[in-house]
Amino acid sequence: MFDPAAGYPTHRPRRLRGNPRLRDLVRENVLTRDDLIYPVFVYHGSDVSREIPSMPGQRQWSLDRFGEVVDEAADLKLPGIMIFGIPEHKDARGSAALRDDGIVQEAVRLAKRRAPELLTITDLCFCEYTDHGHCGPLSEATGRTDVDNDATLPLLVEQAVSHCRAGADVIAPSGMMDGMVRALRAGLDGSGFAHIPIMAYSSKFASAYYGPFREAAESAPSFGDRRGYQMDPANGDEAVREAALDLAEGADVIMVKPALAYLDVARRLKDEFRVPLAAYNVSGEYAMIKAAAERGWIDERRIVLETLTGFKRAGIDMILTYHAPDVARWLQRG
């Protein structure tokens, strides 16, 4: 190990910075197209391709138009898409999420037909499907209105198995219910889907950065907030414990969400567990860059590439980002 006190002769770090080829040689982290997953929104109805006002460049797609964004992702050779669905009918239990002909299930079928090599990763949760906007059915059993953790688990399994029957390649439970990974692993194994990996949203924080997404997915809670199940942004040790639990329960990939304000958490998880690590560069992070770029206040391309390269430096292996198509295009051009 380099010890500055010993008078190591390389006390002129600039020697390695003057020549661009040398800079290439000593570069520690490289962002590539293969690191990216593109989150997309499928909306009920027909002939919908509607830009989300707080997420410039991102759209809600009805199934009959969804092929356009599938083709874009496939043509750019992105590794995968993360599919979110906004159903027509919401109810207290989110039952639209469980139908084999549900919106995400149909979107998966369409994507696999159209671009078999493109990974379909499905977000597993109920907040887009419940009329109250919480991530599972509610109960009063604890003396306050709360998501019923244990009643949510079999519903998540049902949703996951239905996604897998449609052809989902990876499932990504995002609801932060206790025991969800264990229940899902057992449920998938028992239904012939032992080969399907689980990408667990292990440390998902109760964040204000989700605002634009909730507009896009029409999934804002109608009362209260999600602090009873998502994590307190102040906690890092707890994120390590949550990831340890998910790994013990059978998670194949763990995730940190959001990304920018939580890169310390990402680094801790990478150092602690050395397992594949994902980060979700969420809607609010995207919106901030787009807003400043639209005003001409920042150089969008350089800011995005710097940001995502920073994620790699923090130990993140795969990045869920709405910037994915732009990044793929920028990196193509070299």
The rounded distance, in Å, linking the Cα atoms of 24 and 263 is: 24
Does residue 205 interact with ligand PBG by CB under 6 A?
Answer: no
* 137 cis-preceded (ω within 30 degrees of 0): no
- Identify whether the C-beta of residue 42 lies closer than 8 Å to the C-beta of residue 62: yes
Torsions phi, psi for 330 (to 5 deg): -60, -45
The rounded distance, in Å, linking the Cα atoms of 167 and 108 is: 6
The rounded distance, in Å, linking the Cα atoms of 100 and 93 is: 16
Does residue 127 interact with Zn ion by CB under 5 A?
Answer: yes
257 is catalytic: yes
> Of the residues 204, 270, 290, 312, which is catalytic?
204
Minimum CB distance to Zn ion smaller for 189 or for 232: 232
Least distance to ligand PBG from the beta carbon of 285, Å? 8
Does residue 214 interact with ligand PBG by CB under 6 A?
Answer: yes
312 is catalytic: no
Does residue 135 interact with Zn ion by CB under 5 A?
Answer: yes
Which of Zn ion, ligand PBG, none sits in contact with 210, Cβ below 5 to 8 A by type?
Answer: ligand PBG
Least distance to ligand PBG from the beta carbon of 19, Å? 40
Q: Which of 149, 219, 307, 321 binds ligand PBG (CB under 6 A)?
A: 219
Does residue 259 interact with ligand PBG by CB under 6 A?
Answer: no
> Of the residues 77, 90, 112, 257, which is catalytic?
257
Does residue 125 interact with ligand PBG by CB under 6 A?
Answer: yes
Does residue 213 interact with ligand PBG by CB under 6 A?
Answer: yes
* CA nearest neighbour of 230 among 252, 253, 262, 198: 262
Residue numbers 143-182 binding Zn ion by CB under 5 A: 175
- Identify whether the C-beta of residue 103 lies closer than 8 Å to the C-beta of residue 87: yes
Does residue 123 interact with ligand PBG by CB under 6 A?
Answer: yes
Stretch that binds ligand PBG, among 59-67, 88-96, 209-217, 269-277 (CB under 6 A): 209-217
Residue whose entry in the numeric block shows the structure tokens 């083709």:
71
Secondary structure element (H or E) that encloses residue 147, with its range:
strand 146-147
Q: Which of 41, 61, 193, 210 binds ligand PBG (CB under 6 A)?
A: 210
- Identify whether the C-beta of residue 307 lies closer than 8 Å to the C-beta of residue 12: no
Least distance to Zn ion from the beta carbon of 255, Å? 14
* CA nearest neighbour of 109 among 44, 166, 164: 166
Minimum CB distance to ligand PBG smaller for 39 or for 315: 39
Minimum CB distance to ligand PBG smaller for 255 or for 314: 255
Secondary structure (3-state) at 84: strand
Torsions phi, psi for 153 (to 5 deg): -60, -50
Does residue 127 interact with ligand PBG by CB under 6 A?
Answer: yes
Stretch that binds ligand PBG, among 1-9, 28-36, 85-93, 206-214 (CB under 6 A): 206-214
Q: Please, what's the b/e burial string for 288-301 (b: 16 or more CB within 10 A of its CB; e: otherwise)?
A: ebbeebeeeeeebe
Find how far residue 41's CA is from the centre of its chain: 12
Least distance to Zn ion from the beta carbon of 283, Å? 14
The secondary structure of residue 198, as a DSSP letter, is B
Q: Residues interacting with ligand PBG, by CB under 6 A? A: 123, 125, 127, 135, 174-175, 210, 213-214, 219, 226, 282-283
Residues with a catalytic annotation lie at: 204, 257
